[in-house]
Amino acid sequence: MTDESEPHISRRALLVGVAGAAAFGTAPLLVRRAEATPETMKAAIHRVIGESPVRQGKVTLDIPPLVENGNTIAMSVSVDSPMTEENYVKAIHVFNEKNPQPDIISVHLGPRAGKAAFSTRIRLADSQNVVAIAEMSDGSLWSDTAEVIVTIAACLEYN
């Protein structure tokens, strides 16, 4: 039972109205860049590793220095480790400076992994530094940093 006094708008009429408003610019779509900063990345790193000192070395972050499209960037990380019961990589964490989320990925490993390496594809909002940190079984932390120049940014936020 329906109330005849209530106005009824069909889905088609609504879609036509929205499309028309968008075509004439009366329904603006706001696009703004992510407002992340290098400080955001530092805070994310601090949440993961705390105050422990991080040394350069042992980690190789392989990512192209110049990419045309930030929507899909090939990246691989490897760590120089024998991956034995006594000496292995516990985790590899990757962070970025300017994406809406500073944590890209955390990969947890153990001595049975055999090799401390992984490959993936990521998105980058803009030209920025990417940092990979390896957490070793002895508690030491090692890192590598790569600067990536992005010509067409990804990770835009729509409002």
Strand order through the sheet with 73-79: 59-62, 73-79, 117-122
Mean pLDDT over 94-118 rounds to 95
Q: Mean of the pLDDT values across residues 77-103?
A: 96
Alpha carbons 133 and 152: distance in angstroms, whole number: 27
Quick check: 84 pLDDT over 90?
A: yes
48-54 contacts: CB < 8 A, separation 24 or more? 48/93, 48/103, 48/106, 48/133, 49/93, 49/133, 49/135, 49/141, 52/139, 52/141, 53/141, 54/133, 54/141, 54/142, 54/143
Mean pLDDT taken over the chain: 86
pLDDT interval class at 63 (50, 70, 90): very high
Q: What percent of the chain has pLDDT over 90?
A: 70
